[in-house]
Structure 1
Amino acid sequence: MEEDDFRCVECNEKASELHRDYSNGILKITICESCQKPVDKYIEYDPVIILIDAILCKTQAFRHILFNTRLNIHWKLCVFCLLCEAYLRWSLLHVSEPSSDPADIIRYTKEWEFYGMFGLAALAACCSFLWVVCQLQGGTLELSLLLRALLLSCYGKVLLIPAVIWEHDYSPLCLGLIKLFVLTSNSQAIRVILNSSRRLSLMAVCLGLLSETCVAQAYKKLPWSFRDIVDV
């Protein structure tokens, strides 16, 4: 890693190293010159503790993950989250069409509408990201870093799968809470990347959500569907 690649998890100041390796396996955590605290206390923590702090949306945990680690699973996580959201959207299309015919399971596996929902989820995510970029273009913005942060902060969407599998009367409430958690994580990621105020990050996320909702509503008003294309 290059110099000044790291950040202090407490004050966000740049640092050249997280720890210094002395002889005989002795490691000493680097102290931040600005706040006089360890640059990254999480390098000694168990991954489970880091995950819990990230779920609690702690700023220090987000800085550790986004700046001081090289976690390169964001594209895989993005595809998985899009599949989860596409499955949720697709399943909601048939929630009003109950059937006791076992053959329906086979018919559903061939539904082209699932691919349409996947494309819609991807398009909505792109529109949301572009809207966030447009709102924040006035500051110093690294698009690749912001994109990575937003993708990693969408990890809460994996909860959509158990929410759909264990369907019950409170599913709308569960889905709403999952959406709120994802938006909170997105807001915290933007705040950490840009070192901005909470108000700015919340505004960017809300406007991104608005653009995503507009895309979804526009898709519903289209006079055709994927099923019509396949039948033709």
Structure 2
Amino acid sequence: MICIECTHPVESLYTQYSDTNIRSTVCPSCNKFADKYIEHDQVNIAIDLVLLKPQAFRHMVFNVLSVGDSDQLHPQTRRIWVLTTLFDVYLVWATVEKTPNKSPMDNYILSLGALHQYLYFIFQCVCHSAVIHMTTRALARYWLGWTRPNALSTALLMSSASKLFPILMLIWSYDVPIASKVVAWAVIIHEVEALRTVLNCGYIRAAVMIAIAESLSFGLSDYCLPALHAVLDQKLL
């Protein structure tokens, strides 16, 4: 656990004297409350995450979605990954279907059965997520000597939760390409802020890391996966 204001380690976030008497811990370094969000509800925390407040990211990554002092993925983090991946599949699938000028590969995928389409898009989204996480973890360790890769992945998953925002728009027609592009850029902005906050680095370095990761992921999803699918399809024929 850390102070969300200055990142100084603390032993506890609060002291409970009785059922109705709880006192928040004051950070010995900055003399502020170590984590003000322990008294906030989830809605306020979610709003501050959307507003890219560093304290909200630190609260979630280091004080909520952490397993003691070890670098292990919290069970709730795994559930967030499953939820964002499934919703990402919907976004990618809808975008491909609504794109007016489809590539031959897209037309071929859409000509297959629904199950085959779903498996292809979920594999594509899982590969995209894996490349983003592995690349940023490797760059963080190489450039900054970061030794908590799972904490970094937790921060990236929290930032990618903005993919869930369009669920509020389901009462309107959402399946348009421009909407998915807006969501994609929102996710990238949140990813940069998450890296800057968790790694305590500048915006330029965080943006470069995300740019490299997104470029590798783009190359994988747009070139490598279709080529692999075409080769396997030829062998099956």
Give the TM-score, by structure 2 length.
Answer: 0.78
Cross-structure match for 2:179: 174
Please say if 1:126 is aligned against 2:130: yes
- Residue 54 (1) aligns with residue 49 (2): yes
Equivalent in the alignment of 1:64 = 59
User: Following the alignment from structure 2 to structure 1, what is the Cα–Cα distance between the partners of residues 196 and 115?
Assistant: 40
Task: Confirm whether residue 145 of structure 1 aligns to residue 148 of structure 2.
Answer: no
Deviates more, 1:190-199 or 1:43-52: 190-199
Q: 1:126 to 1:69 in 2, by over 3 A?
A: same
- Per the TM alignment, residue 192 of structure 1 is displaced from its structure 2 partner at its CA by 2.5
Work out the percentage of aligned pairs sharing the same amino acid: 25
5+ residue gaps, structure 1, are: 1-5, 98-106
Pairwise CA distance, 1:204: 1.0
Equivalent in 153, 157, 160 of residue 154 of structure 1? 160
Structure 2 unmatched ranges of 5 or more? 66-73, 102-110
Partner of 2:81: 78
Separation (CA, whole Å) in 2 of partners of 1:220 and 1:69: 36
Shift of 1:164: 7.8
| Range 190-199 or range 159-168, more displaced | 159-168
In structure 1, the residue matched to 2:204 is 199
Distance 1:91 1:14, change over 3 A: same
Q: For structure 1, which segment, 9-18 or 79-88, has the greater mean C-alpha deviation from structure 2 after superposition? A: 79-88
Question: Which secondary structure does the structure 1 equivalent of 2:31 belong to?
Answer: coil
Q: CA deviation at 1:14?
A: 0.6
Distance 1:157 1:41 in 2: 27
* SS at 1:94 equivalent: helix
For residues 112 and 41 of structure 1, the distance between their equivalents in structure 2, rounded to whole angstroms, comes to 48
Give the count of matched residue pairs.
217
The Cα shift of 1:178 comes to: 1.0
From the two aligned structures, give the one with the greater helix fraction: 2
Secondary structure at 1:154's aligned position in 2? Answer: helix
**Which protein shows a greater Rg?**
1
Q: Distance in 1 between matches of 2:19 and 2:172?
A: 53
SS of the equivalent of 2:15 reads strand
**SS of the residue 1:129 aligns to:** helix
> What is the TM-score of this pair, normalised by structure 1?
0.80
Amino acid at match of 2:75: N
Paired residues of 1:75 and 1:151 also in contact (CA < 8 A): no
2:26 matches 1:31 = yes
CA distance in 1, matches of 2:211, 2:116: 31
- Structure 2 counterpart of 1:188, from 187, 193, 210: 193
Q: Which moved more, 1:47-56 or 1:190-199?
A: 190-199
Question: Given the alignment, which residue of 68, 77, 91 partners 2:94?
Answer: 91
Letter in structure 1 aligned against 2:173: E
Shift in Å at residue 181 of structure 1?
1.5
Cα distance in structure 2, aligned partners of 1:158 and 1:47: 16
Q: Is the 8 A contact 2:62 2:151 kept in 1?
A: no
1:84·1:160 contact (CA, 8 Å) conserved in 2? Answer: no
